[in-house]
Amino acid sequence: MDYRLFDLTGRRALITGSSQGIGLALAHGLAAAGAQVVLNGRDAARLATAAAGLPGAETLAFDATDHAAVRAAIDGFEASGRPIDILVNNAGIQHRAPLEDFPAEAFERLLQTNIASVFHVGQAVARHMIARGRGKIINIASVQTALARPSIAPYTATKGAVGNLTKGMATDWARHGLNCNAIAPGYFDTPLNAALVADPAFSAWLEKRTPAGRWGKVEELQGACIFLASDAASFVNGHILYVDGGITASL
């Protein structure tokens, strides 16, 4: 096998929501595979701190939920002669509450951050990729793309939508040379899951429920991302790759 298929040297990757957690871990993985990485978030100071720990990283601050701001930032970046070859739509939030009491404003925030941002950034970047006839888009879905748990029904709805939007992107854009896929993480030890990680009862349940018997480490998502961003996945399109320790495979 020619392992150069996984080499990302000479390619530029934009990762949304990458000042911490899964996004930052994926940025490190893509950089290790040779990519020039561009970190994104709304807080320029936090981005600068994250970039300081990743030699050669660039930053591009914008609000992924603001369509006009996204378009201006992406078009301006591309106009500077720095094409975005790989997009990882990672920005996301969580809110937990019983569905009958779920705040409407929290539901709207979930829709904007978890779904609309994928559309806004995906569309803005894809327009340039289509013109070049190539590009890789990787959306971060979730184990909740396929499964539900109490108190997170709206989050589950948003991640289900990310899965189907990924399929729609592939259906529209594969003919233009784009590969559009998703990674669906299971339960990982991240800032978003800090409250669950700190809950002994939940951790005990998770270890019993997951065939691998443990929380995932964010670094364990890097291989899947490198694969989908590389030439090794040249005929993979509209796929949702679950990286979950087997949780979706087992009752």
The predicted-structure confidence for 140-176, as pLDDT tens digits, reads as follows 999 999 999 999 999 999 999 999 999 999 999 999 9
Q: What share of the chain is helix, strand, coil (3-state, %, to 5)?
A: 55, 15, 30
155 classed as catalytic:
yes
pLDDT at 193 over 90: no
Catalytic entry in 3, 155, 187, 242: 155
Burial class of residue 88 (count of CB atoms within 10 Å of its CB; 0-12, 13-18, 19+): buried
Tens of pLDDT, residues 66-124: 999 999 999 999 999 999 999 999 999 999 999 999 999 999 999 999 999 999 999 99
Euclidean distance between CA atoms 40 and 57, whole angstroms: 11
Average pLDDT of span 203-232: 97
- Which residue shows structure tokens 């009862």? 201
Instruction: Report the pLDDT value the prediction gives residue 1, as an integer from 0 to 100.
Output: 58
Q: What is the pLDDT of residues 23-70, one digit of tens each?
A: 999 999 999 999 999 999 999 999 999 999 999 999 999 999 999 999
Domain annotation for the chain: domains and CATH numbers: 3-249 (3.40.50.720)
Distance (Å, whole) CA 228 – CA 170: 13
pLDDT average, residue stretch 218-239: 98
